Amino acid sequence: MLVAPSVLSADFGNLARDVKDICDSGCDLVHVDVMDGHFVPNLTIGPVVVSAIAKAATKPLDIHLMVQNNTFFVELFADLKPEYITFHIEEEKHPHRLIQKIKSYGIKAGVVLNPHTPAETLEYLLADLDMVLLMSVNPGFGGQSFIPTVIEKTSKLKALCDRINPSCLIEIDGGVNDQNVKLLRDAGADVVVAGSYVFKHKDGKKVAIQSLKA
Residue 82 near ligand DX5 by CB under 6 A: no
- 183 HSE (CA, 13 A, CB side): 16
Nearest Cα residue to 200 out of 18, 2, 34: 18
The 128-147 contact track toward ligand DX5, x by CB under 6 A, reads: ---------x-xxxxxx---
Residues of span 18-57 touching ligand DX5 by CB under 6 A = 31, 33
Nearest-10 Cα torsion for 7, 140, 35, 187: 70
Name the active-site residue from 18, 21, 28, 33: 33
Residues in the interface with ligand DX5 (CB under 6 A) total 22
- 210 contact choice in ligand DX5, Zn ion, none (CB below 5 to 8 Å, kind-dependent): none
- Which of 107, 197, 208, 209 forms a contact with ligand DX5 (CB under 6 A)? 197
- 126 HSE (CA, 13 A, CB side): 21
Residues of span 167-186 touching Zn ion by CB under 5 A = 173
**Chain CA centroid to CA 43, Å:** 17
Residue 137 beta carbon to ligand DX5: minimum distance, rounded to whole angstroms: 6
Known catalytic residue at 173: yes
Known catalytic residue at 203: no
Q: In what order do the strands lie in the sheet with 30-35?
A: 2-5, 191-194, 169-173, 131-135, 108-113, 84-88, 61-66, 30-35
- Which of 51, 117, 155, 196 forms a contact with ligand DX5 (CB under 6 A)? 196
- Distance from C-alpha of 72 to C-alpha of 141, rounded to nearest angstrom: 22
Q: Which residues bind ligand DX5 (CB under 6 A)?
A: 6, 8-9, 31, 33, 64, 137, 139-144, 173-176, 193-197
Residues that bind Zn ion (CB under 5 A): 33, 64, 173
